[in-house]
């Protein structure tokens, strides 16, 4: 979609954007603190957990997980948890998933669980 | 203006087959291009007795004294009167104003034709229109409605496309018909209650636990501010607040060639504990969003029907954690300039035969139709 078309899209004027088509992955990567082709020199991305555990970056990941969860088709959250984490899945996370008020909430809780974050 | 021929039966009790086969589809089809239909899905099971409290019912205090708002006239946090027996939750002043203008029809003690108490399954059935014994339907009933809308004289889709607003397209709108999907730019953020559960899940983790707790405190998502009305007001103005979405969607719906059918989904209704504090923010969000939708629609509000539904109800009796558990019947709202509202549709009297022995709010209509079949 060209810039002129974008400017004419009524939804943009109202503060919304069409959600169809490609997900703006560059923007997501930037928001998650790892912009494409922008690794700090000379050491590259840190491989130490505390460097990725600042409050705002953890909350950023949680928000992304929540936004992404809502776009997944109605999958079984427990099956998804089992497939993603297997034996690492904690009973507390299973309980939280089972008590969730919707599938999107359940998948958000899975994405935000510490064992998923550290996987 | 003549009210749309929407009846309680076709619109609410018969969300399954009746919607696809019955009069509602015809009502929309007959309406051709100018009428709008908006569905607001409340995911998590709204407590109907909290949203529209039958304060005139003598059984109520014995079942849920800890959850009741003061009767109308009883101060700032009192129920908003709906005509002497029912009162609207104090967090719904916008809806109350519309009710007084005759634009809101709360329908009480209603339930879908399914009896599952799983949020996931019930939300699927509410949106697909399938029954528990016939789960083969994989599209949403509102998408199937789109397929039935008339084409314009030039063969184009005169009614425009359906519109999913917010994150993702709900099952309600998925299916064969093309549906536009709009979302605000940027990430959505979980509700304070969901954040709280995420924080609890991470609490044992030495790195993530403190990081999340600190982050939420910095954003004022901590326990004390959760109940404060100011918090909910602030969240309304964030991109993913219902008000912002409703304003955007309302303008699209109002446009001459815009969509005619839209769906929203709101979370945060599963109030198993601390219900009084937890229910207020989502109710405020709903209230402000519905008012914003009306404003954004402008004159088109007069040709709009909004249906607010949730997957099932909650127990009438308060549980041990000052909340309510999964139940049967609840309240739904029909609103819009085309609605003959200003009254509450409900079985009368609501008590006695409606409250079951386990203090669930039953749906008398469904019970009677069942017994007829039996």
Q: If you write DSSP's letter for every residue of chain A in order, what string do you get?
A: --HHHHHH-HHHHTTEEE--S---HHHHHHHTT--TT-PPTTT-S---GGGG--HHHHHHHHHHHHHHHTTS-S--HHHHHHHHHGGG--HHHHHHHHT-SSHHHHHHHHHHSHHHHT-
Residues of A in contact with B312 (CB under 8 A): none
Query: Mean of the pLDDT values across residues B20-31?
Result: 28
Of B22 and B117, which is predicted with more confidence? Answer: B117
Label residue B150 by pLDDT band (50, 70, 90). low
**Contact check, Cβ <8 Å, A101/B187:** no
- Whether B201 has its CB under 8 Å from any CB of chain A: the answer is yes
Residues of A in contact with B202 (CB under 8 A): 112-114, 117
The gap between the terminal CA atoms of chain A, to the nearest Å, is: 37
**Contact check, Cβ <8 Å, A14/B251:** yes
Flag whether pLDDT at B35 surpasses 90.
no
**Contact check, Cβ <8 Å, A66/B171:** no
pLDDT tens string B276-290:
999 998 999 899 999
Of B166, B185, B198, the CB nearest to A109: B198
Which regions of B144-221 does DSSP assign to beta strands (E)?
162-165, 179-184
**Contact check, Cβ <8 Å, B211/A92:** no
**Contact check, Cβ <8 Å, B215/A72:** no
Query: Measuring CA to CA, which residue among B259, B252, B287 is closest to residue A16?
Result: B252
Give the phi and the psi of residue B62 in degrees, each rounded to 5.
-70, -25
Flag whether pLDDT at B291 surpasses 80.
yes
- Quote the minimal CA–CA distance from B293 to chain A in Å: 13
- The pLDDT score that the predictor gives to residue A24 is 67
- Nearest Cα residue in chain A from B209: A114
Of B182, B207, B216, the CB nearest to A11: B182
Flag whether pLDDT at B32 surpasses 70.
no
Strand, helix or coil at B334?
A: strand
Does A79 share its domain with A26?
no
Flag whether pLDDT at B353 surpasses 70.
no
**Contact check, Cβ <8 Å, B272/A66:** no
**Contact check, Cβ <8 Å, A70/B188:** yes
Contact B260, B33 (CB under 8 A): yes
Does A22 share its domain with A3?
yes
Of B43, B201, B219, the CB nearest to A96: B201
Residue B265 to residues A71, B41, B262, B283, Cα–Cα distance (Å): 12, 5, 10, 13
Residues of A in contact with B192 (CB under 8 A): none
- Nearest Cα residue in chain A from B271: A101
Contact B311, B332 (CB under 8 A): no
Does A64 share its domain with A119?
yes
Does A61 share its domain with A77?
yes
- Whether A72 has its CB under 8 Å from any CB of chain B: the answer is yes
- Quote the minimal CA–CA distance from B252 to chain A in Å: 7
Give the phi and the psi of residue B179 in degrees, each rounded to 5.
-130, 130
Which regions of A1-119 does DSSP assign to beta strands (E)?
16-18
Does A82 share its domain with A57?
yes
Does A3 share its domain with A32?
yes
- Nearest Cα residue in chain B from A112: B198
Flag whether pLDDT at B164 surpasses 50.
yes
ipTM of the complex: 0.83
Does A72 share its domain with A116?
yes
pLDDT tens string B215-264:
887 765 544 444 443 444 444 434 457 888 888 888 888 887 778 888 88
pLDDT tens-digit profile, chain A (119 residues)? 344 333 345 444 455 555 555 556 777 788 788 888 888 888 889 888 888 888 888 988 998 888 888 777 667 899 999 999 999 999 999 999 999 998 989 999 999 999 999 88
Of B184 and B200, which is predicted with more confidence? Answer: B200
Query: Mean of the pLDDT values across residues B144-157?
Result: 64
- The pLDDT score that the predictor gives to residue B44 is 93
Structural domain boundaries, residue A110: 53-119
State the total domains in chain A.
Answer: 2
Strand, helix or coil at B168?
A: coil
- Quote the minimal CA–CA distance from B2 to chain A in Å: 31
Mutant choice from B120, B126, B213 vs A, greatest count of A C-beta within 10 A = B120
Does A74 share its domain with A110?
yes
B 261-280 residues inside an 8 A Cβ radius of A:
267-270, 272
Q: How many CB pairs under 8 A join A and B?
A: 150
Contact B270, A104 (CB under 8 A): no
Is the peptide bond prior to B349 cis by the omega test (within 30 degrees of 0)? yes
Give the phi and the psi of residue B361 in degrees, each rounded to 5.
-90, 110
A 3-22 residues inside an 8 A Cβ radius of B:
10-11, 14-20
**Contact check, Cβ <8 Å, A16/B249:** yes
The gap between the terminal CA atoms of chain B, to the nearest Å, is: 41
Residue B269 to residues B154, B194, B331, Cα–Cα distance (Å): 44, 11, 13
Does A57 share its domain with A89?
yes
- Quote the minimal CA–CA distance from B364 to chain A in Å: 26
Does A29 share its domain with A60?
no
- The pLDDT score that the predictor gives to residue B364 is 62
Does A57 share its domain with A40?
no
Given A29, A45, A61, which residue is the final one in a domain? A45
Does A80 share its domain with A116?
yes
Which regions of B210-300 does DSSP assign to beta strands (E)?
261-267
| DSSP state letter for B361 | B
Rounded to the nearest angstrom, the gap between the alpha carbon of residue B169 and the centroid of all alpha carbons in its chain is 16
- Whether B252 has its CB under 8 Å from any CB of chain A: the answer is yes
């Amino acid at each position: 979609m060209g810039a002129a078309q974008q400017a004419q899209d009524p939804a943009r004027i109202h503060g919304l954007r069409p959600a169809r088509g490609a997900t703006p992955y560059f923007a997501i990567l930037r928001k998650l603190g790892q912009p494409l082709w922008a690794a700090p020199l000379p050491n590259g991305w840190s491989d130490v957990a505390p460097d990725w555990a600042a409050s705002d970056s953890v909350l950023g990941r949680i928000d992304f997980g929540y936004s992404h969860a809502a776009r997944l088709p109605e999958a079984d959250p427990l099956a998804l948890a089992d497939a993603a984490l297997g034996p690492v899945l904690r009973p507390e996370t299973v309980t939280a998933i089972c008590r969730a008020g919707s599938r999107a909430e359940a998948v958000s809780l899975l994405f935000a669980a510490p064992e998923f974050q550290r996987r | 203006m003549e009210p749309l021929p929407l009846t309680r039966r076709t619109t609410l009790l018969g969300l399954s087959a009746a919607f696809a086969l019955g009069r509602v589809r015809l009502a929309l089809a007959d309406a051709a291009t100018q009428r709008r239909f908006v569905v607001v899905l409340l995911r998590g099971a709204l407590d109907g007795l909290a949203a529209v409290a039958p304060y005139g019912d003598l059984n109520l205090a014995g079942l849920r004294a800890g959850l009741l708002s003061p009767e109308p006239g009883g101060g700032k946090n009192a129920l908003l009167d709906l005509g002497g027996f029912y009162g609207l939750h104090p967090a719904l002043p916008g809806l109350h104003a519309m009710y007084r203008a005759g634009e809101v029809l709360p329908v009480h003690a209603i339930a879908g034709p399914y009896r599952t108490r799983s949020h996931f399954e019930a939300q699927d059935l509410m949106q697909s229109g399938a029954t528990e014994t016939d789960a083969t339907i994989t599209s949403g009933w509102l998408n199937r409605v789109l397929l039935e809308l008339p084409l314009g004289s030039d063969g184009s889709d005169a009614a425009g496309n359906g519109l999913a607003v917010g994150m993702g397209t709900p099952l309600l709108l998925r299916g064969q018909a093309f549906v536009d999907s709009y979302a605000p730019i940027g990430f959505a953020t979980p509700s304070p209650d969901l954040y709280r559960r995420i924080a609890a899940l991470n609490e044992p983790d030495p790195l993530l636990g403190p990081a999340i707790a600190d982050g939420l405190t910095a954003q004022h998502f901590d326990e004390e501010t959760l109940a404060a009305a100011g918090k909910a007001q602030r969240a309304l103005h964030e991109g993913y607040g219902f008000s912002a979405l409703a304003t955007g969607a309302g303008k699209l719906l109002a446009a001459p060639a815009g969509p005619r059918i839209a769906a929203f989904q709101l979370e945060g209704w599963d109030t198993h504990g601390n219900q009084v504090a937890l229910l207020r923010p989502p109710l405020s969000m709903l209230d402000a969003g519905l008012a914003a939708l009306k404003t954004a629609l402008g004159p088109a509000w007069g040709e709009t029907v909004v249906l607010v539904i949730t997957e099932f109800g909650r127990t009438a009796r308060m549980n041990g954690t000052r909340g309510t558990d999964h139940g049967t019947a609840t309240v739904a709202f029909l609103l819009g300039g085309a609605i003959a509202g200003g009254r509450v549709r409900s079985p009368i009297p609501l008590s006695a035969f409606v409250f079951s022995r386990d203090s669930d709010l039953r749906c008398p209509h469904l019970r009677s139709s069942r017994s007829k079949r039996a």
